[in-house]
Amino acid sequence: METLIGLLFAFLWASGAIAAKVGFRGSPPLTILDARFFIAGSLMLLLNYGLRRSSPLPKRSDWKHLTVLALTNSTIYLGLSWLALQQISAGVLNLFIACNPFLVALFSGLWLGRKVTRQEWLGMLVSAAGLLLATLPTLLDSQAGLGGLIMAAVAMLTYSLGSVYFKWAKVELPGIILNTWQLSIGAVLLLPFAIISNGPTLPQVTPDLIAGLGWSVIAISILAVILWFHLLNKDPVRANMWLFLSPVFGYLQAAVVLHEGIRVTDILGTLLVLLGLVVSGTFDLRSLLPARSTA
């Protein structure tokens, strides 16, 4: 079951880049991102506290943890990632994503006392090599700006710290409630930066923008993040291993939706990423097989 959840999360998370390419061209990035947070947060608040009145409210001690989660996982991470993509390619950003599992493993050991096994380190190295192979042609063709590289590095560092902080904080709320408040608080925290960054510029409303924003709200901000909280609650190190697979799904989605070509290096890189997930024990092939009858 955990493998299927991880696969679905990686697939949905990867689709964010496709939604951006299709629907958000020419739109101010932080304005669109903040609109995504506000819409998703409002929908979640309506669902949990308007339609389902039995949903638990955070305790007083939870609010500081929820604010930290919103700041690290939403406002800073996604805000800086979207700004970085104005100066660097998606391939370069994917290489920063590959650093995330290593950072989480390091922080988990220092902060949580979670020992990372040799098998997990080996799996991370194999997956990182696969991701590097797949993104190398894009990396060689890109001209990345220094500002974009710095923003991407800070985004990944913040996201890694947020992942470990979530496990350490042990907020006793369901994932759907955690996501509701993370989105809502993250929208408020991002708003002043969106105003400063984009000024009074508003996006032109088009069918592509509506479709891209709708998918980003439902599939990514709501469903994918709920799955992410579930994976983090189990094990932050293995949860972050699924981020290796997300860029691979991105290449496949770009080929289908945007009709972008698939290179031999994409295929070989994908196989290495999958092998690394299997070696680390994150991807359990047995969970995909039909259950044997004990009768």
**CA nearest neighbour of 120 among 281, 287, 284, 286:** 281
Inform me whether the pLDDT recorded for 163 exceeds 90.
Answer: no
pLDDT class of 26 with cuts at 50, 70, 90: low
Give the model's pLDDT for residue 53: 74
Mean local confidence (pLDDT), 173-199: 89
| Token pair 């993104």 in the structure block, residue | 135
Inform me whether the pLDDT recorded for 287 exceeds 80.
Answer: no
Give the model's pLDDT for residue 292: 52
Give the model's pLDDT for residue 293: 46
Residue 120 burial (10 A CB sphere; 0-12, 13-18, 19+): buried
Mean local confidence (pLDDT), 48-67: 87
Give the model's pLDDT for residue 30: 86
Give the model's pLDDT for residue 200: 63
Is 69 in contact with 178 (CB distance < 8 Å)?
A: yes
More confident: 140 or 170: 170
Give the model's pLDDT for residue 70: 93
pLDDT class of 45 with cuts at 50, 70, 90: very high
Give the model's pLDDT for residue 187: 94
Mean local confidence (pLDDT), 171-199: 88
Predicted confidence (pLDDT) per residue in 225-284, tens digit: 889 888 888 887 788 788 878 877 877 787 787 776 777 877 888 788 888 878 877 766
Predicted confidence (pLDDT) per residue in 88-144, tens digit: 766 677 677 767 777 888 888 777 777 778 888 888 888 888 878 877 776 676 666
Give the model's pLDDT for residue 295: 42
Domain residues of the chain, as ranges? 2-285
Main-chain dihedrals φ then ψ at residue 56, nearest 5 degrees: -75, 145
The Cα–Cα gap between 176 and 36 comes to 17
Query: Which range among 18-27, 204-213, 251-260, 275-284 shows the weakest confidence by mean pLDDT?
Result: 18-27
More confident: 99 or 80: 80
Inform me whether the pLDDT recorded for 186 exceeds 90.
Answer: yes
Mean pLDDT for all residues in the chain? 81
Give the model's pLDDT for residue 13: 84
Q: What percent of the chain has pLDDT over 90?
A: 16
Highest mean pLDDT among 91-105, 174-188, 203-217, 275-289 belongs to 174-188
